[in-house]
Structure 1
Amino acid sequence: MASGKSDIPDTASISQSHVEDKSPYMHPDEHLKKRFTLLSVIAFGFTTMNSWVAFASGVAVPLSCGGGPALIYGLIAAAVVMVIINIGFAELASAFPSAGGQYHIVYMTFPPSTRRVAAFFTGWISVIYIMAATVSCNLFVAGSILDVVGLWNEGYETQAWHTYLLHILLCIIAFVVTSRFPTAIGKLGVTILVLSLVGFVASLVTLLAVKDVKQTADFVFRDYQNVSGWPDGWAIFIGITGCLWAYSGVDAATHVSEEVPNPSRNVPIAIITTMVLGVITVLAWNIALMFVITDLQALIESGVPILEVYNQALNSKVATTIWAVYYMVMFYDIVLNLFIFAGRTIWSLSRDGGVPFSSFISRLNWASPVRATAVMLVLQIIIGVLYVASSTAYSSFINLTLFALNITVALPQAALLFRGRGILPERAFSLGKFGYITNAVATLFVIFFSVCFCFPVGYPVTASSMNYLIVVMAVGLAVTTIAWVAKLRKTFTGPRLDNYEGESVH
C-alpha cells in the first residue's frame, strides 16, 4: 500500500458549532468494539459479494442477450468496469474510514456549501439500496426453501404470502443474531469464506463430471443467441449491465471500518481482495455452467436459475436439494452481513442527527447498534409487502440496489475531479498519478451504466416488463426530501469531530 500526502484545506469551513458544541445525538462514552481482524473483514467483504454464489440468481438477463458469449464476455467487461470504480472507492475508504461509508466520504469530499445536503441524501440512498439488497437476498432464501418443498411435494403450490411470512421469520432471526452476537458474525464469515471456496471447487467438479450433458466450446464462447428483442449492439450493453450484479456489495467492508484495527490499510485490502476473488470465481463457475446446461430457454425463464442448473446437470432431486441448501446458507450469510452494515449505516446517520428520533436510535446496546438495526428490520417487514402486492414494482425496487450503490460510490470520485485530489489526507492506500484517470473513468462508467439500468431487459416492452427504476428512485428521493425539509435539515450536523477517534474533519 502506498502512502499519499496532501494539504488539508477548508479546515475552518465547518462551523465551530459543529466542532465544539456537544450534539444531543452523540454519546462520547459509546463506541463500537474492535471486533474484526484483517482476515474477518476480508471474509465479511467477500461473503457479502460472494460473486459466484450471488450471481447464480441473475444469469437470465445476460443469457437472453446473447447466450454463452454475452454471459462470459459480459462478466469480463463488467469486471473491468467494477474494478475501476471500486479501486477509486478503496482509496477514499482508506482516506476516510467510517461506519457511515459513502455518506461520510461524500461529506468529506464535497464543497462546504453543499456537503451537508449531499451527505444527507447519500446516506439515505445508501439505506434504501441496503434495504433493497436485503429483501432481495432474503426473499431468495425464502423462495428457495419453498421451491425445495415443491421439488419433493408436487402437490404444493408456492403462494407469495407464504414467501413473505417466511421472509419475516428469517429477518427476525437475522436481527437477533446480528444485534446480540456481532462478533460471532465476523468469525462465522471466515467459516463461510472457506465454505464458499470449498463449495466453489466442489461445484465445478460436480458440474464438469457430468459428461453426457456437456456443450461444445462454440456454444459457450461463440454461439451468440440474442433473444432479448433488443438489437444486437444494444443487447450487448444490456447484458454487461446485467453482469455488473456479480460484483455488487464491495462496499461492505467500509461499514465496519470503526470495528477493525488500522482501517486505512485493512479496509482497502478487503475491497481489493474481494474483487480479485469475485472475478476469478464467478468467471470460472459460469464457464462451467455453460458447458452443462441442456435447455437455455428454461434457464432464462426460471424463477430460481440455480435450481434449474442443477436439475439439468444432475437430474437428481437429492443432489439438487443438497446444493439448494448450500446456496441458502450462502445467501443467508449475505443477509446477516447486510443487517450488520445496515445497522452501522443507520447508526452513523443517527449520531449525526440524520434520522427521526436520532437520540434514541443512536444509543448502543452491548456496544452494538441494536436500535439502528431494528429500523432495518421494520423496513424489511414493510417493503416485503411490495413482493406480495406487485411483482413488477418489486423487481423495479430491487433494480435500485446496484444503480444507487454505484452512484454513491462515484459521487465522491466526481467531487475529486472538480475540487482536486489535494483535499485527500494522508492515507495507507493511494492511487498516486493514476488517481485522476481512475476517478474520471469511474465517473463516466457510472453515468453510462446508470442510463443502461433504466432500460427494460427485454423488447417489446409490456406493462409487466417495464422498468420503473426511475419512478422508484424518484419516490425514494421525494420521501427523503420531505424528511429533510420537514425536520432533519435542522438536526443533521454532518460527521462531527467527536464521532471519529483521532480523525480531523476537513
Structure 2
Amino acid sequence: MASRPPFKQENSFGAGMGPSYEMKSMGSRDAGTAVEEVFSEEPAPIEGLPTNDSRYRNTYDDQKDMWRLNKKQELRRNFRFLSIFGYSLILVNGWVLAIIGVIAPLTNGGTAGAIWGYLIVICGLFLSTLSMAEMASMAPTAGGQYHWVSEFAPKNYQKVLSYITGWLCVLGWQTALCSTAYSGALSVQGIISLNLPNYSNAAWQGVLLTIAIVLSTIAFNTILLRKLPTFEGIMFTLHIFAFVAVIVVLWVMGDRAPASETFTQFSDYSGWGSYGTALFVGTLAATGSLVGSDCSAHLAEETQDASWVLPRTMVLTAITNYAMCFFTVITIMTVKGSSVDDLLSVPYQPYIKIFQNVTRTNGGATALTSIMFILLLFGIINQVTTTSRQLYAFARDKGLPFSGFLSHVRPGWDVPLNAVTVTLCFSILVSFIIIGSPVAFFTLASLCQSALYASYFIVIGCVAYRKITKQPLPPSRFDLGKAGLAINILAMAYLALQFVLIFFPTAPHPTAEYFNWAVVVFVGTVIIAFTWYFVRGRHEYLGPVEYVRKTE
C-alpha cells in the first residue's frame, strides 16, 4: 500500500453531540481526492490491530472508514464487487419468492393487481435503496441502520432512536431467516404431497425439515466462510441459469392468457368492495419478495473498498432483482392456468399447482419445485451471514443482553461464531411454534417486514432531517446530489403507506384465527425494547456516535 501523509485526528466523545464533518465529497470513484482535504494523515493504529495487517485485506479507504467509525477490524474482507453483488442477489431471491407467494396478489387484486402492485412496490423500494446506498457509503459498517440513526438523528434522540432501530433490525432479520427456512420446508412437503396423495403434511415434519435446513448452513458460515465468495460465484451462475430455465419452461409449455386479460383484469376475490383497496393489500406479497435492500450493508466490514463498492452493488442488485421479479410476475400471471379456487383447493402450495398446470406432469412440477427449494437454500446460507452480522454489530455496541458473548470474535477465526450459533439456535427454537400453530408462526415471521420497513423509515427520516436543516454529513463516494432530499422524502412517503398496509388482514372481517396479529407482534417488540432500554440499556448503550472520531 502506498504511504500516505498522516491524519490530523481528534476523538469525539461529546455527550450526544456526535461528530462534526468539514465537507461532503461528490460521490465519484475519485472522491478520495476530496476526502484528502479532511484526512491528511494516515490513521493512527487501533489498539491491538496493526494498521497494515494484510490478513484483513483492508484498502486505504477501508482503514480510514474504520478509523473514523472507531471500530476494530475483526472480520476478514473476503468480498469484492462481483461476489457481494451475487451474495445480495441470491439472498433477496425476489423472483423465487414472487412465485412462492403467488396466491396473495391473486386473491387481492387479481392478475392485473399483482402486476401493477409489484410495479408500485418496486418504485417505492428503489427510492429507499438509493437513500440507504448513500448512507452505506458515508458509514460502511456492519451495524447499518442503527448506526446511521445514531449519527444522523437529532442529538436529543440519537441514543433512544438508535437503540430501538437496532432491536428492530436484529429481530427483523432473525424472523426473516425463520420464515425463509420454513418456506423451504413447505417446498419439500409440497413435493411429497404432489407425488404421495396420502401424505399427511404433519406440522412436526415441517419443523424437522426447517431445523435440517437451518443446520445445513453451518459449514458455509464457519469453517468455509473464506470460501463463501467463491461459492457465491457458483450459486450466482446457478441462480441465473435456473431463472432462465424456469421462465422458458413456463412460457413455452404453459397456456398463455391474452395480454388484455392479464394486464387489465382486476379482482376483489377477498371481498374488500374496492379494486384499489384489494390491489394495495395485495402488495404485501411484493414487499415480502423485495424487502431486504440493506442485506449487503451488514457485510460492510467484510467487503473490500466498502464505501465505493457497497452502494453500487446495492443499486445494481435492486435493479437486477426488480427486473427479474417483475418479469416473473408477468409470466406467472399469464400462464397460471387455474382459477383462484382451484389453486386454493390443493393440499400443497398453490405455485406447485401452477407448475403442474404448465408441465402437465407431476415429474415436471417436482423438478421446478426442486429448483425453488435449492435457490431458497442458497438464500438461507446468505441470510444466516447477514443476520449474524447484524446481531454481532449491535452487541458490539452493547445494545443487547449478553453483548460481550454475542460480539466475541476469536482471534484468527475472523468469524463471529457466537452470533452465528445464537442465530441458528433462535431459528430452531422459533420453528417449534409451528407445531402449536402455523398461523402464530407466520404472525411472528411478519415482524420481518414491519421491523425492517420501520428501520428504513427512521433512518431515511434522520438523514432527510440533516439535509433540511443543512447540517453537515460525512463524506460520501455515492452522492445523490441535489435530488437526494426529494428521493428521501418520496421514499418516506412510500414507506409510511406500506407500513400501514402491512397490518391489514388478507380479507375483510377476519375471524380471530385469520386476523393479522402482526401489529401486536410489532408493538410488543417495541415495548420490550423500550423496557430493556430503561431498565438496563440506557446505562450500557452509548450509541455508535459517541465513538465516532471528528474529521476536521
Aligned to 2:343: 299
Report the 3-state secondary structure (helix = DSSP H, G, I; strand = E; otherwise coil) of the residue aligned with 1:251: coil
Matched, 1:180 2:229: no
Matched, 1:221 2:263: yes
Report the 3-state secondary structure (helix = DSSP H, G, I; strand = E; otherwise coil) of the residue aligned with 1:285: helix
Deviation at 1:479, TM superposition (A): 2.3
> Which stretch of the first structure deviates more once superposed, 386-395 or 427-436?
386-395
Looking at structure 2, the residues matched to 221 and 456 of structure 1 have their Cα atoms a distance apart, in angstroms, of 25
Deviation at 1:14, TM superposition (A): 4.1
Aligned to 2:423: 376
Deviation at 1:102, TM superposition (A): 0.9
Residues 414-453 of structure 1 aligned to structure 2 (within 5 Å): 414-420=461-467, 422-453=471-502
- Give the direction of change, closer, same or farther, for the CA distance of 1:124–1:225 in structure 2 (3 Å limit): same
One-letter amino acid of the structure 1 residue matched with residue 388 of structure 2: G
Report the 3-state secondary structure (helix = DSSP H, G, I; strand = E; otherwise coil) of the residue aligned with 1:249: coil
Deviation at 1:301, TM superposition (A): 6.1
- Give the direction of change, closer, same or farther, for the CA distance of 1:491–1:374 in structure 2 (3 Å limit): same
Superimposed CA distance per residue, residues 268-322 of structure 1 (whole angstroms, 9 cap, x where no aligned partner)? 1111111111121111122121222221313356652331221111121221121
CA contact (8 A) 1:31 1:367 kept: yes
Looking at structure 1, the residues matched to 208 and 155 of structure 2 have their Cα atoms a distance apart, in angstroms, of 46
What's the TM-score once normalised by structure 1's chain length? Answer: 0.91
Matched, 1:404 2:447: no
Aligned to 1:354: 399
- Give the direction of change, closer, same or farther, for the CA distance of 1:301–1:82 in structure 2 (3 Å limit): farther
Aligned to 2:534: 485
One-letter amino acid of the structure 1 residue matched with residue 252 of structure 2: A
Larger Rg: 2
Report the 3-state secondary structure (helix = DSSP H, G, I; strand = E; otherwise coil) of the residue aligned with 2:240: helix
Looking at structure 2, the residues matched to 57 and 234 of structure 1 have their Cα atoms a distance apart, in angstroms, of 22
Aligned to 2:249: 206
Residues 332-351 of structure 1 aligned to structure 2 (within 5 Å): 332-351=377-396
CA contact (8 A) 1:60 1:301 kept: no
Deviation at 1:182, TM superposition (A): 1.9
> Which stretch of the first structure deviates more once superposed, 126-135 or 301-310?
301-310
Superimposed CA distance per residue, residues 243-291 of structure 1 (whole angstroms, 9 cap, x where no aligned partner)? 2223211111101001111111111111111111112111112212122
Deviation at 1:155, TM superposition (A): 2.4
Looking at structure 1, the residues matched to 18 and 461 of structure 2 have their Cα atoms a distance apart, in angstroms, of 29
CA contact (8 A) 2:293 2:314 kept: yes
Aligned to 2:297: 254
- Give the direction of change, closer, same or farther, for the CA distance of 1:385–1:481 in structure 2 (3 Å limit): farther
Deviation at 1:47, TM superposition (A): 0.8
Report the 3-state secondary structure (helix = DSSP H, G, I; strand = E; otherwise coil) of the residue aligned with 2:514: coil
Deviation at 1:106, TM superposition (A): 1.1
Matched, 1:309 2:351: no
- Give the direction of change, closer, same or farther, for the CA distance of 1:423–1:97 in structure 2 (3 Å limit): same
CA contact (8 A) 1:354 1:491 kept: yes
One-letter amino acid of the structure 2 residue matched with residue 299 of structure 1: L
Residue 521 of structure 2, aligned match among 472, 477, 484: 472
Superimposed CA distance per residue, residues 136-186 of structure 1 (whole angstroms, 9 cap, x where no aligned partner)? 110111121122122222222111111112212222222343122222232
- Give the direction of change, closer, same or farther, for the CA distance of 1:380–1:504 in structure 2 (3 Å limit): farther
One-letter amino acid of the structure 1 residue matched with residue 541 of structure 2: F
One-letter amino acid of the structure 2 residue matched with residue 63 of structure 1: L
Aligned to 2:14: 13
CA contact (8 A) 1:11 1:505 kept: no
Superimposed CA distance per residue, residues 423-451 of structure 1 (whole angstroms, 9 cap, x where no aligned partner)? 32111101110111111111111111111
Matched, 1:265 2:312: no
Aligned to 1:394: 441
Matched, 1:162 2:205: yes
One-letter amino acid of the structure 1 residue matched with residue 428 of structure 2: I
Aligned to 2:83: 40
Looking at structure 1, the residues matched to 240 and 15 of structure 2 have their Cα atoms a distance apart, in angstroms, of 47
- Give the direction of change, closer, same or farther, for the CA distance of 1:497–1:48 in structure 2 (3 Å limit): same
Deviation at 1:31, TM superposition (A): 0.9
Superimposed CA distance per residue, residues 222-263 of structure 1 (whole angstroms, 9 cap, x where no aligned partner)? 222220211222112212343222321111110100111111
Aligned to 1:149: 192
Residues 283-298 of structure 1 aligned to structure 2 (within 5 Å): 283-297=326-340, 298=342
- Give the direction of change, closer, same or farther, for the CA distance of 1:321–1:504 in structure 2 (3 Å limit): farther
One-letter amino acid of the structure 1 residue matched with residue 300 of structure 2: S
One-letter amino acid of the structure 1 residue matched with residue 538 of structure 2: R
What's the TM-score once normalised by structure 2's chain length? Answer: 0.83
Deviation at 1:323, TM superposition (A): 1.4
Looking at structure 1, the residues matched to 131 and 220 of structure 2 have their Cα atoms a distance apart, in angstroms, of 33
CA contact (8 A) 1:226 1:235 kept: yes
- Give the direction of change, closer, same or farther, for the CA distance of 1:29–1:108 in structure 2 (3 Å limit): closer
- Give the direction of change, closer, same or farther, for the CA distance of 1:253–1:17 in structure 2 (3 Å limit): closer
- Give the direction of change, closer, same or farther, for the CA distance of 1:113–1:16 in structure 2 (3 Å limit): closer
Matched, 1:171 2:214: yes
CA contact (8 A) 1:13 1:112 kept: no
Matched, 1:326 2:371: yes
- Give the direction of change, closer, same or farther, for the CA distance of 1:29–1:431 in structure 2 (3 Å limit): closer
Report the 3-state secondary structure (helix = DSSP H, G, I; strand = E; otherwise coil) of the residue aligned with 2:432: helix
CA contact (8 A) 1:109 1:423 kept: no
Give the paired residue count. 490
CA contact (8 A) 2:101 2:285 kept: yes
Residue 318 of structure 2, aligned match among 271, 275, 278: 275
Looking at structure 1, the residues matched to 18 and 289 of structure 2 have their Cα atoms a distance apart, in angstroms, of 44
Report the 3-state secondary structure (helix = DSSP H, G, I; strand = E; otherwise coil) of the residue aligned with 2:515: coil
- Give the direction of change, closer, same or farther, for the CA distance of 1:168–1:240 in structure 2 (3 Å limit): closer
List gaps (5 residues or longer) in structure 2. Answer: 1-10, 20-45, 48-69
Looking at structure 1, the residues matched to 171 and 98 of structure 2 have their Cα atoms a distance apart, in angstroms, of 21
- Give the direction of change, closer, same or farther, for the CA distance of 1:496–1:371 in structure 2 (3 Å limit): farther
One-letter amino acid of the structure 2 residue matched with residue 137 of structure 1: T
User: Runs of 4 or more off by more than 6 Å in structure 1?
Assistant: 15-18
> Which stretch of the first structure deviates more once superposed, 308-317 or 296-305?
296-305
Matched, 1:69 2:100: no
CA contact (8 A) 2:170 2:390 kept: yes
Looking at structure 1, the residues matched to 331 and 71 of structure 2 have their Cα atoms a distance apart, in angstroms, of 53
For the aligned residues, what is the CA RMSD? 2.7
Report the 3-state secondary structure (helix = DSSP H, G, I; strand = E; otherwise coil) of the residue aligned with 2:522: helix
CA contact (8 A) 1:124 1:480 kept: yes
CA contact (8 A) 1:352 1:496 kept: no
Report the 3-state secondary structure (helix = DSSP H, G, I; strand = E; otherwise coil) of the residue aligned with 2:544: coil
Q: Which has the higher helix share?
A: 1
- Give the direction of change, closer, same or farther, for the CA distance of 1:105–1:390 in structure 2 (3 Å limit): same
One-letter amino acid of the structure 2 residue matched with residue 227 of structure 1: Y
Aligned to 1:85: 128
> Which stretch of the first structure deviates more once superposed, 425-434 or 107-116?
107-116
